[in-house]
Structure 1
């Protein structure tokens, strides 16, 4: 239930987050080179929120049109992330999500940027950038996962990145 603090739930959430960080060993390095301590703190909070979302959904299988734990598609996964962790409503489809925020060059990616790919003649795919050449998304084969962005497959299919301004970041969880 939202707004109710449950210490047992908080401990479980912390364990899930620590497990996700173990699977993402270089996640600490996302802040390397960030000179501004306020910016570094905000990026740290943002990355923790992203990894918490990953830990909650890890292994959930892909299902076209799916919106829940029994199966979810990429755009619903991203929509749920923004709603649950940032109290921000995104459109349901990746095509509509692609109109949100502002376009950013791939060389300027920051943690939290949305990544869009063309994976079929009319099909768009979306994931969220974690830093260190890694992003999380819902794979048709492996479900919710973290993968490398700079691979031949993802580079070939990359369309654009979008940055959605969340103002002063305040995770809702």
Structure 2
């Protein structure tokens, strides 16, 4: 548990230092309760997603797998993370997931965003969850286990199809309206 929190803290340190400084400034203001920072709200949901995703490290890959006990494929991992972290059921396949949320550029990635790749000679055939600092977690392929990799590696960089943001930065975790379904 402590290692996951350390990994998350390091990830945020590299990718969200500016956000953290901005939220500290807002929290230091006496009336900050009336103006909740969307950065804080977004960070809370993103932290839940990243923390949950890291719980699956080492789970074996299984084609069509949706259970950590028997194995997960890429979309099975993502749907388990979203269901268990924030109570939202996603569609079953990477291609269906790619039709949700807001399109975002690679330079605009934030922890909790979905990243898509063409690994089977078709777009959006693989999905992972962005962790920050150029890293993502995914269930790779037969014989593999859920792991963290860098998007910038030659293999993943060539196959990157795009990303989607499902977390609505203006919502709060208790509101249940986490997603921008445009």
Q: What displacement does 1:32 show?
A: 1.1
CA RMSD of aligned residues (A): 2.2
8 Å CA contact retained: 1:115, 1:128: yes
Q: Which has the higher strand share?
A: 1
CA distance in 1, matches of 2:8, 2:111: 14
Q: Radius of gyration: which is bigger? A: 2
Unaligned runs of 5+ residues in structure 1 are 1-15
Q: What displacement does 1:122 show?
A: 3.6
CA distance in 2, matches of 1:99, 1:44: 23
Unaligned runs of 5+ residues in structure 2 are 24-36, 177-182
Distance 1:41 1:85, change over 3 A: same
SS at match of 1:165: coil
CA distance in 2, matches of 1:107, 1:155: 13
Match in the other structure for 1:128: 129
Match in the other structure for 2:31: none
CA distance in 1, matches of 2:46, 2:149: 15
User: Deviating runs (4+, > 3 A) in structure 1?
Assistant: 21-25
Match in the other structure for 1:49: 48
Provide the TM-score with structure 1 as the length reference: 0.79
Provide the TM-score with structure 2 as the length reference: 0.76
